[in-house]
Structure 1
């Protein structure tokens, strides 16, 4: 047993798992993320990892026992102090335990096996061992234990929500939703399965369902910043940008230093083409953390949209300085150097180098990188190379951008540089060609009239001379 100083009571931090959506072609800001929440299941928990109690332990202040940790209990690490951990128990008690009395989750299967042998009908231990198997990457063993726990009669909401989280991670979304539904049926007051079900809906593109689940969770956890952030992402995905902004505003109003909310709001303002407001948000984020390459890149792109090309280039350079393998920053830098109207900044050679770097980082598989490389070669007058790279863009272009990619390929084949609106450019070029043709026709017409007049005058002179001679 361990006697340690009682520290405090608090809600244990929630585990998280981020799924980052891909950056769409033509969108050059870093995007947002969806989060799944853990209900005691063993996932990495910020700021530390979950550990498992090897023995029974007691927390005490003086002679008074304030909490008891049972063998096999999951504990969230708050701080590693060398010989011991500061942890938070499931009930929210905070204290210190010797490292010898706690093991990492992946090393805990033997602990739960011992408990199962001692209490063979206690289904809860199967659920906990399933978590340990999962941490080891042994999914078959994990699923078998999750199922056995329920078969043994462990029908607590946690049994279903834990298996649901596991099934969601395996991509078995409908089965996961069924488990979350069952967990909510057993314990309607537990919002964790509600939140995790919302995340599954997000993954399936069922944004309205996700919004309803997040809203229901917020009815319980009033103004919870994490939930507001997730609902804002759902609103964004559903195209309800003003509602997404409103959720981010609530977070920032409550905590002006919530960088994630400020960044999220800035990204949506960029989508709304409110470039000045977006740049202001990314500037605010940089005031709190000037070593975030994403904030530098995002501010740079919005500054570029505002015509502040030199300032945008400085931001891209800073992003790359902080993160040399930040492909998106290299890509944005390439676009700027290849297409800017500022002749003092345009540098096709440097644009090619930046685009090549982005392509190398992404193994020549990102359509934005390849498009930038083609545009950079076109800016340098290397139209053969531009055509070659743009042909690769056309090959992999999704349906919604294939027409644009093909128009750019035609431009490069005609030895014309990149332009953001090739349709408008074609119209201008056609109108210019028509005007030139009309001017040429008018010129020829005037010349023909002069020739005709001259011929008439000459004929009149000849006739006059002939008449005079006949007299």
Structure 2
């Protein structure tokens, strides 16, 4: 789970990121015109990101990096735009530079960890999340992401503990709750998992992930009516759940949940 760094409301704020680096030498002088131009590029990058046009966003972040090469936030955000295009190795290079410039800021570690997960480098990802938690022990996303990386190693019980900690810190972090429910299902606690899924859907009725999960769980239980009604909602909200490859490799559901949804889709 990538975290965008919304730091370009003012480039003056951005330079606060690099204080430890800039303190070693005289900070460069930028004109008000350059700062304004940088702000405009950043705004355009975020607009492009919101539209899903990650290639354009990458171009704007590159322009900012060319103008402000010690801007750690720009490096990290360009990494995010590259991850969204599956340019993972290039993204890692950007995150490495952001970390070099701002070693005590959590976001580049968090985002590098997500890119490492994309490369299935689970242990390296966990190391980055551990570093985030050293800096900020109450980072709910780091616990959630570390849980995700642990599932890649098949450590489902350890992942459950991380999801629970994430939920404890941020009770409204819906995806951490969803991941917790999926992990429960994978460890055989199916009834408890279904109760958790239903509770999540009750609070967030437009949450496609849990609607699709309930589809799979109810289908396996033989409750076809419940499965069908949840599928209508899930597919209407996000039709990617019809693609079992996406569910397996991008959303990364547990194997038992994938198998349940696959059975449902093949019998539809």
**TM-score, normalised on structure 2?**
0.75
Counterpart pick for 2:188 among 335, 346, 357: 346
Larger radius of gyration: 1
1:367 aligns with 2:208: yes
| Equivalent pair of 1:379/1:417 in contact (CA under 8 Å) | no
Alignment correspondent of 2:259 = 419
Superposition pairs of residues 206-285 of structure 1, within 5 angstroms = 206-285=53-132
Superposition pairs of residues 30-429 of structure 1, within 5 angstroms = 30-33=1-4, 35=6, 37-38=8-9, 190-338=37-185, 340=186, 345-362=187-204, 364-378=205-219, 380=221, 382-398=223-239, 400-402=240-242, 404=244, 419=259, 422=262
SS at match of 2:107: helix
Q: Shift of residue 419 of structure 1?
A: 0.5
Q: Shift of residue 418 of structure 1?
A: 5.4
SS at match of 1:35: coil
| Equivalent pair of 2:235/2:242 in contact (CA under 8 Å) | yes
Q: CA separation in 2, counterparts of 1:271 and 1:312?
A: 17
Q: CA separation in 1, counterparts of 2:171 and 2:103?
A: 30
Q: Shift of residue 283 of structure 1?
A: 1.9
Q: Shift of residue 382 of structure 1?
A: 4.0
SS at match of 1:31: coil
Greater share of strand: 1
| Equivalent pair of 1:197/1:213 in contact (CA under 8 Å) | yes
Q: Give the number of the structure with larger relative contact order, counting CA–CA contacts within 8 Å between residues 6 or more apart.
A: 2
Q: CA separation in 2, counterparts of 1:396 and 1:198?
A: 26
| Equivalent pair of 2:208/2:234 in contact (CA under 8 Å) | yes
Q: Shift of residue 325 of structure 1?
A: 2.5
Q: Shift of residue 366 of structure 1?
A: 1.5
Q: Shift of residue 365 of structure 1?
A: 0.7
| Equivalent pair of 1:349/1:380 in contact (CA under 8 Å) | no
Q: Shift of residue 39 of structure 1?
A: 5.3
Task: Give ranges in structure 1 of 5+ residues lacking alignment.
Answer: 1-29, 47-156, 159-182, 406-415, 427-471
SS at match of 2:259: coil
Task: Give ranges in structure 2 of 5+ residues lacking alignment.
Answer: 15-30, 246-255
SS at match of 1:290: coil
Q: Shift of residue 386 of structure 1?
A: 2.9
Count of matched residue pairs: 240
Q: CA separation in 1, counterparts of 2:101 and 2:168?
A: 33
Pair 1:235–1:370, CA change in 2 (3 A): same
Alignment correspondent of 2:17 = none
Q: CA separation in 2, counterparts of 1:289 and 1:348?
A: 33
Pair 1:370–1:217, CA change in 2 (3 A): same
| Equivalent pair of 1:331/1:372 in contact (CA under 8 Å) | no
Greater share of helix: 2
**TM-score, normalised on structure 1?**
0.45
Superposition pairs of residues 5-24 of structure 1, within 5 angstroms = none
TM-superposition CA deviations, 1:42-75 (whole Å, max 9, x none): xxx79xxxxxxxxxxxxxxxxxxxxxxxxxxxxx
Superposition pairs of residues 424-439 of structure 1, within 5 angstroms = none
Pair 1:276–1:232, CA change in 2 (3 A): same
Q: Shift of residue 246 of structure 1?
A: 0.5
Q: CA separation in 2, counterparts of 1:249 and 1:292?
A: 20
Pair 1:353–1:205, CA change in 2 (3 A): closer
SS at match of 2:137: coil
Q: Shift of residue 287 of structure 1?
A: 2.1
